[in-house]
């Protein structure tokens, strides 16, 4: 979910959403470095009323040095999923302090505005499964695949999914009809979903394609049973 123009003031509903955050909730930090943008994982620790939100400092053993992108008076973009409603919340915040004791933590100012992406009509489950996007050229040439890119399925339901594809070195896929392919282990047949591109969003790093499966079939149930891992 890209950060776009936000409201100038937090509504009472927005404040309640932030107050409902529970310690240990996973969050995503987007950090800006001099030559790149990096997304790393952290977790919510707690809050000081409506003054400060406190997060665990991301693991530098996993993500590498972060001090050029995460520092006092710098900005961080925070994304998280509310446990109770499943809504996606995103906001920009200024780093107020970084402490080492009693825990290595990042203290950020309470945001002035947030973005909330509402509930889907159909429940989706978060996964991380590599996939391939291929062009569907015509009925005569359905067997011929033209690779459009490789990506990662980020969430899925019985009727569709969301795929993230890195923007580096790639243009946005313009095809409206595509074939989504997921490699199956061993000699089993690959999972293939003829899909319609319903929407395309982007942030600094990725294109996000919202796909609707053109028909429900046994592949969907098999994929949900064998590959999905709730997060």
The C-alpha atoms of residue 73 and residue 6 are separated, in whole angstroms, by: 20
Q: What is the pLDDT of residue 50?
A: 86
Supply the pLDDT for residue 139: 44
> Among positive and negative, which fits the CA dihedral 105, 106, 107, 110?
negative
3-state secondary structure of 215: coil
Q: pLDDT per position in the chain (231 positions), as tens?
A: 444 344 446 788 888 888 888 898 889 999 999 888 888 989 999 998 888 999 999 999 988 999 999 999 999 999 888 876 667 888 999 999 999 988 899 999 999 888 887 655 556 677 788 999 998 864 434 444 578 989 999 888 777 889 999 988 888 888 888 999 887 666 567 778 889 888 888 888 899 998 988 876 555 665 655 554 433
Predicted local confidence at residue 217, as pLDDT: 57
Give the per-residue pLDDT at 228.
47
pLDDT at 199: 85
**Residue 224 pLDDT:** 59
> What is the set of domains in the chain, with CATH numbers?
12-117 (2.30.110.10), 125-227 (2.40.10.220)
DSSP string computed for 109-167: EPPS--EEE---SS--EEEEEEEEEEE---STTTT--EEEEEEEEEEE-SSEEEEEEE-
């Amino acid at each position: 979910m890209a950060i776009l123009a936000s409201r100038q003031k937090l509504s009472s509903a927005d404040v309640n959403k932030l107050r409902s955050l529970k310690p240990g909730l996973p969050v995503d930090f987007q950090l800006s470095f001099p030559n790149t943008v990096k997304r790393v994982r952290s977790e919510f620790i707690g809050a000081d009323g409506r003054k400060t939100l406190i997060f665990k400092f991301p693991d530098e053993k996993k993500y590498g040095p972060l001090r050029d992108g995460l520092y006092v008076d710098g900005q961080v973009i925070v994304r998280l999923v509310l446990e109770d409603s499943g809504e996606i919340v995103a906001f920009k915040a200024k780093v107020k302090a970084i402490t080492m004791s009693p825990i290595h933590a990042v203290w950020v100012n309470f945001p002035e505005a947030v973005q909330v992406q509402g509930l889907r009509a159909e429940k989706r489950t978060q996964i991380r499964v590599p996939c391939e996007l291929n062009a569907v050229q015509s009925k005569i040439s359905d067997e011929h695949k033209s690779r459009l890119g490789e990506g990662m399925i980020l969430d899925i339901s019985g009727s569709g999914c969301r795929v993230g594809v890195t923007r580096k070195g790639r243009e946005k896929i313009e095809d409206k009809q595509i074939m989504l392919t997921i490699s199956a282990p061993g000699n089993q047949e690959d999972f293939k979903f003829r899909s319609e591109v319903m929407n395309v969003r982007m942030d600094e790093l990725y294109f996000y394609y919202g796909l609707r499966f053109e028909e429900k079939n046994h592949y969907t149930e098999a994929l949900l049973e064998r590959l999905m891992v709730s997060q």
